[in-house]
Amino acid sequence: MRNTDIRIKDMKIKIKFLQDAVFTESPSIAIYKSVCSFIRRIVCICPDVRCSGCSRNGKCIYSFLTGADFSDFRDIPFIVSYDPSLKREFKSEEIHEYYFTLIGDAVEFVDFIIFSLKEYEQRGLFGGKCFFKIISLEINNNLNPISSFIDGINILTPVVFKNDILENQYGRIKYLNDKFHIFCSDIEYIKPSYELKLYHKLSHEQRFGESIIADNGFIAEIKFNDGIALDDVLKLSEITGFGNFNFFNGRNAVYIERDE
């Protein structure tokens, strides 16, 4: 399958803070939540009704992009990437990059994301308490893996899985593909030979819309015994992230290229 068959809008946003800024959570997640909140304000016709019980659930753009206000974490095609810097304090004029990704049917709504970001550029985040300037906004419609062949994968955020971590990931991508029509090829999992190391068990909670999500699991390292060629699932996973809570952990894996 060629990259042109992939339905994806991968956005890299570079912003410059126009004043000192302090975030109480990951800035990428804070901006992501703000974008979602703005979209809800402009499209929701039943603001006093929970998404999960609304007659427009499944038809509303906000409900579609957020899995009914995050009531079902499996059904979220709007993804924010994990920020490995973990930085929460910025000085005026400081520049930082963030990534947001739309997959499958959600690519039709990329203009809503761009419009929301530009509105916050004018209004400022958090009720005008944090102003920034968009330096650049790039949209990539293809998958551009670092390499066609890798020796391992380091997963940087907690993941939960049963038995086979890769089988869990393939099942996750298959579910997303069946739901949102990301690409047209069949997904087949053939288990490679690999060693798995689990590090630090981590647990923390994130609030999204109607839900408080307990992000529990292990940091993991996968070492392929014979290396592995990247198929479409692994290429997509490099962007969308690993694990069940990948909608706020995009790019949470580092692929280890084969040494020449």
pLDDT, tens digit, for every residue of 220-255? 999 999 999 999 899 999 999 998 888 998 999 999
- Report the amino acid identity of residue 211: S
Query: How many CA atoms does the CB half-sphere of 181 hold within 13 Å?
Result: 4
pLDDT tens, residue by residue, 18-73 = 999 999 999 999 999 999 999 999 999 888 888 888 888 878 999 999 999 998 88
Domain ranges of the chain: 3-140, 149-257
Please state, in angstroms and rounded to a whole number, the distance separating the CA atoms of residues 49 and 21.
33
> What value does the mean pLDDT take over residues 147-164?
88
Please state, in angstroms and rounded to a whole number, the distance separating the CA atoms of residues 222 and 230.
14
- The second-level CATH assignment, the architecture, of 3-140 is 2-Layer Sandwich (3.30)
- Do you know the residue count of the chain? 260
pLDDT tens, residue by residue, 107-145 = 999 999 999 999 999 999 999 999 999 999 999 998 876
Please state, in angstroms and rounded to a whole number, the distance separating the CA atoms of residues 241 and 191.
19
Please state, in angstroms and rounded to a whole number, the distance separating the CA atoms of residues 107 and 227.
33
Closest by alpha carbon to 77, among 40, 55, 108?
A: 108
Give me the CATH topology for the region 149-257.
Alpha-Beta Plaits (3.30.70)
Would the CATH topology of 3-140 be identical to that of 149-257?
A: yes
How crowded is residue 98: how many other Cβ atoms within 10 Å of its Cβ?
19
